[in-house]
Structure 1
Amino acid sequence: MSLTSALSSAMSGIRAVSRGSEIVSGNIANANTPGYARRTLSISSDSTGPAIGVRVNGVVRHVDQQIINDRRLAAAETGYRNDTTTALTRIEDLIGTPDQIGSLAARVADFEQSLITASSRPDATERLTAVAFGAKDLAQSINAVAQGIQDTRSQADRSIDAQVTRLNDALKGVETLNAQIVSTNSSRVNASALEDQRQLLIDEISEMVPVRLVARDHGAVALYSTGGTVLLEGRAAELGFEPANTVTPYESIEDGTLSGLTINGVSINTSSTNGRLRGGTLIAQFQIRDEIAPNAQSQVDALARDLVERFEDSSVDPTLGVGDPGLFTDSGDPLDTASETGLANRLSLNALVDIDQGGESWRIRDGLGAAAPGDAGDASLLIALTDVLSTTRPQASGDFGPSSLSVEGIVASLSSQIGSDRLREDRQLSFASAQLNELTQLALADGVDTDAEIQALMVLEQAYAANARVLSTVDEMFDTLLRI
């Protein structure tokens, strides 16, 4: 080997070592950077010229795409289950359990106890007043549950709007990065940093809508939802949604009063079972707004209807005429079965006995339609009110099964249903979280190992020293030749 060949070989080695050191340093510095993939330098022997040296082929970005794809799907499932579990937990908390002060079951028990107490001393005004307040507390508790359910729907609607905006921005970002990566690769410049940014954006997209990634030419990618919808193929799809901000019990996606979802102006199915974007946090919010909360609302409305029907029966209170509202009313009106939707929000105590509205508590003892106070010692109506509260009867609405239920039984069934749904979702969440954790650990195992990188850096230092020694030796030999 000639001196010039040795010099050229050593110089190419130093250049490769310098580039390798830069990559290793970058790996160590970004070991905990989200989306960063470990890089290595690809080198080979260069014998194309008169001298043998080291050729730098490029930078290799190490990712296990299958693990990343599986992790994304697990993250979408975890986000979906987390959102539905949170919504069900909130509704469950609104209803409460019998041992909780202020729960629906506790309010029913308090009301029943106030009736029993008043029955023992029907002449005691304070006991009759306690019945009125107990009935009003029960009505207001049902109001609060219904309003909490609508607040959950409103929150879901706002979340959908925010996620659609994020999703559109992220898809546009991937489209832009695709173009930059193609351009960079065409110029034979390393595009790893751009690919890291794109991976982060796709991770964000997949949490909202689980996606499948398809590689395209020159480093570009296409994105499809697991339901088959094209989200990015060259150009990004545009999702559309019109927020309602405040959702009422009378609005639904079926009657068009609530917005659905569009892709490039075309409406798509947003159901949790066969929706084309199902599986992520976006459809979870649609499920909360359009399925979970409305189902809970219909059950609470059925409870309100049962209360109104029980106490406006003239066989219970003979002083009531046809069409007269009973102890519980629909905003002061008698029950209209055609307007059951939202009844839980409108449920109220009859103003005739509502102390806060100037009502008179003696009417609870003598009848809502009584012209004047009757026998102060007559507890027959109070006993009838107590009995009708605990009487079991088939339910005209709601989904409580074929069994006959008392008011307490309806509340218990409602609480049990919501609790069972929440428990089922919680189990699914635990499974999805465990799966996500395992896949995350697998992805991290393929990431940057700082110990291995330091070892690689030591090898590079040795290679640098060897090449530097060759340069020094060649320099000494040139000096010797020049002195001859």
Structure 2
Amino acid sequence: MAFDAFTTATAGLRLTQSQIGVVSQNIANVGTVGYVRRSLSPITTGPGNSGVASGTITRAIDAAALKQLRSETSGAAYTSTMSGIRTQLDALYGRPGDPSALDGMFNSFTLSLQSLAANPTSTAARSTVISAASGLASTIGTAANGVQALRSGLEAQLATDTKDASNLLAQLAKLNVRLGTTPESDAARPELEDQRDQALNSLSALMDINAVTQNDGSVSVLTGSGVTLVDHENAATLSFSGRGTLAAGALYSNDPSESGVGTIVATTPGGGKIDLIDSGAIRSGSIAAAVELRDTVLPQAQRQLDDLAAGLARSMSDRVATGSKPADGTAGALDIDLTGLSSGNAITLTVQDGGTQRNIILMPFSGTPPASVPAAGTEDSEATVIPFRLPGSGAGAPATMAAAIGQALSGGGYAVSAAPGGASGAVRIVASGSASLIAASASVTQVSSAADINSGKTQIPLFVDGKAGTLFTGSFEGGSQLTGFAQRISINPAVAGNAAALVGITGTGTSTGDATRPQALYDAVTTTRRTFSSASGIGGIDAPTTSSVATFVQDVIAMQGSAAAAAQDLDEGQSIALSTAQGRFASTSGVSIDQEMSNLIALQQAYTANARVLTAARDMLDTLMRI
């Protein structure tokens, strides 16, 4: 009997000592990231379960809580990235109301025009207009450059995140091999499982993943959309084809030869390749946020600034032409004055045929035919775009112009001819059959070049394209003139060197004290309604918007401010969700000092009890030996 007590007490001491070691390890790692609390449960041995031995060290894991933690980690990384970039984007426009902000600079410009209209003979007022115009152009350019700097930063971030994700996948594959060869009873196994789970948590911050644990302890990793990234010892390799510094025209395309930005390609062990961006395989995490910002959010912000710059330039140099019903009552017809039509002066026809309302955009060109005129580069990304060549310089006989437009619309149920009794460049468009013509509009450039500052009209090319001083017309010859125009807009050197051109219209008999031109310029930006593209997102999804330039400025600032605030609110909400998930996981898997110290005291008492039993058994044996 004494020998049984001796054996049991000795086994108890060994078990208690092992348990104390586990508890001590828990206490030592209370602040270690990724450490999961361990426990050691005894197992019974011997005849009639009379003995005790150390069991397997197990981790306290709640699989559901761990899955939720990874999901919330992906979401938090996504919202954090979105909120950070959205906030920086909003800051590019300045604080609304500040004199140096975008709206403040625009208000200073319109106020200077108003002041000049009130006092056209003032040299100081003319200089103020020049200064305000230059400052406004510079502010737009600075904001647009900031947008591209953010895109370039995201391109670099994607390269880093892709490399980190690829390294984590390789690490998981190696851990799968080690776990597959490490017995359940091995004390090193929990450490390997901790490393595996920590790698999965880190990966979930980069992309949304689904981890499936196999019977041998290895884990299969798939994207949220189902693309397999890790299977046992096999891991996909991720690569990113970065483009470095991005320009306004650098956009994503699923054709690598045409894409201006990098993409993420997963190469499987068998050599197969999957474009994770083109396939939409990554839906959350910092990578998904960076892709969305780089390819959608920031290009839209660039387009808003390009549209603003174009609207500002063309409000000074163009005339808005609108179709009207003919005076002679011709049914189904609209007359529109296109006198002075230049390359890029798109004519938008709103038509209805087959019960569907749509836009047809006629895009004139005078030199080299454009390689293509994508609808996304016009005011309506859903429109049908028809390029046509202008006769001569674009101001040829109306019959020739009408023939060109008519040829572009041939077979479409529309006929085009010179408008009877109209201006020299007026045309009449007539719908026939089931076709119905609802509206027609165009922004027609009224000056021949950037040097044409005394055209005899109220328009003047105050803003031009680039330092060379090229007239902005919206041309697609040699590429889209609109793309990146916000970076290139500047004040016309010809006007800056001759501020007197802001008042008085040569050839009309007006004096330099006449306020007609400055008043017309003021009205052009504050009250004249122009059409801005659907790609700007101001008018809603795939819908062009019509407003004055002044209203468009306010809409852009309001939209970006609202989007930044919404992103911050979403991030705060997601942070709470992540904190809740972390708390739920920690309640099961985290180390509590109080609980571990309580366990340690209990184990110390058990150790003492076993020691006393061992002492009693020894004393009994000593007594028996002395008998």
Q: Does 1:165 align with 2:301?
A: no
Partners of 2:91 and 2:512 in 1: CA distance: 41
Structure 1 vs Structure 2 CA RMSD: 2.4
Which runs of 5 or more residues in structure 2 are unaligned? 321-339, 341-444, 452-460
Q: Which residue of 2 aligns with 1:268?
A: 275
Give the direction of change, closer, same or farther, for the CA distance of 1:440–1:396 in structure 2 (3 Å limit): closer
Partners of 1:63 and 1:261 in 2: CA distance: 33
Task: Output one character per residue of 1:305-335: Cα deviation in whole Å (capped at 9) or x when no partner.
Answer: 11111111379xx997424461011111112
Task: Output one character per residue of 1:133-163: Cα deviation in whole Å (capped at 9) or x when no partner.
Answer: 1001111111011111101110110110000
Partners of 1:431 and 1:227 in 2: CA distance: 24
Q: Which residue of 2 aligns with 1:440?
A: 582
Shift of 1:69: 0.8
Amino acid at match of 1:247: L
Q: Which residue of 1 aligns with 2:111?
A: 113
Partners of 2:6 and 2:261 in 1: CA distance: 75
Give the direction of change, closer, same or farther, for the CA distance of 1:116–1:394 in structure 2 (3 Å limit): closer
Q: Which has the higher helix share?
A: 1
Partners of 1:430 and 1:134 in 2: CA distance: 40
Q: Which residue of 2 aligns with 1:472?
A: 615
Amino acid at match of 1:32: G
Provide the secondary structure at the position in 2 that maps to 1:404. Answer: strand
Partners of 2:606 and 2:175 in 1: CA distance: 36
Structure 2 contact 57–187 (Cα < 8 Å) conserved: no
Q: Which residue of 2 aligns with 1:380?
A: 516
Structure 1 contact 74–432 (Cα < 8 Å) conserved: yes
Give the direction of change, closer, same or farther, for the CA distance of 1:258–1:404 in structure 2 (3 Å limit): closer
Provide the secondary structure at the position in 2 that maps to 1:257. Answer: coil
Aligned length: 471
Q: Which residue of 1 aligns with 2:66?
A: 68
With a CA cutoff of 8 Å and minimum separation of 6, indicate the structure with the bigger relative contact order.
Answer: 1
Partners of 2:4 and 2:285 in 1: CA distance: 60
Shift of 1:279: 1.1
Structure 2 contact 525–548 (Cα < 8 Å) conserved: yes
Q: Which deviates more from structure 2 when the two are superposed, residues 467-476 or residues 135-144?
A: 467-476
Q: Which residue of 2 aligns with 1:257?
A: 260
Shift of 1:390: 1.2
Structure 1 contact 17–464 (Cα < 8 Å) conserved: yes
Partners of 2:95 and 2:610 in 1: CA distance: 77
Partners of 1:336 and 1:262 in 2: CA distance: 40
Shift of 1:250: 1.0
Partners of 1:438 and 1:257 in 2: CA distance: 41
Q: Which has the higher strand share?
A: 2
Q: Which residue of 1 aligns with 2:470?
A: 333
Give the direction of change, closer, same or farther, for the CA distance of 1:314–1:78 in structure 2 (3 Å limit): closer
Partners of 2:96 and 2:616 in 1: CA distance: 89
Shift of 1:429: 2.2
Provide the secondary structure at the position in 1 that maps to 2:514. Answer: coil
Shift of 1:29: 1.7
Task: Output one character per residue of 1:86-105: Cα deviation in whole Å (capped at 9) or x when no partner.
Answer: 22222222123541231221
The TM-score, its normalising length taken from structure 2, stands at 0.71
Q: Which residue of 1 aligns with 2:526?
A: 390
Q: Does 1:322 align with 2:448?
A: yes
Percent identity over the alignment is 29
Shift of 1:396: 4.7
Structure 1 contact 96–415 (Cα < 8 Å) conserved: no
Q: Of 415, 422, 427, which aligns to 2:557?
A: 415
The TM-score, its normalising length taken from structure 1, stands at 0.91
Partners of 1:454 and 1:190 in 2: CA distance: 24
Task: Output one character per residue of 1:222-243: Cα deviation in whole Å (capped at 9) or x when no partner.
Answer: 1111111111112111111111
Q: Which deviates more from structure 2 when the two are superposed, residues 425-434 or residues 192-201?
A: 425-434
Q: Which residue of 2 aligns with 1:57?
A: 55
Structure 2 contact 93–557 (Cα < 8 Å) conserved: yes
Partners of 2:446 and 2:55 in 1: CA distance: 93
Structure 1 contact 58–190 (Cα < 8 Å) conserved: no
Structure 1 contact 185–218 (Cα < 8 Å) conserved: no
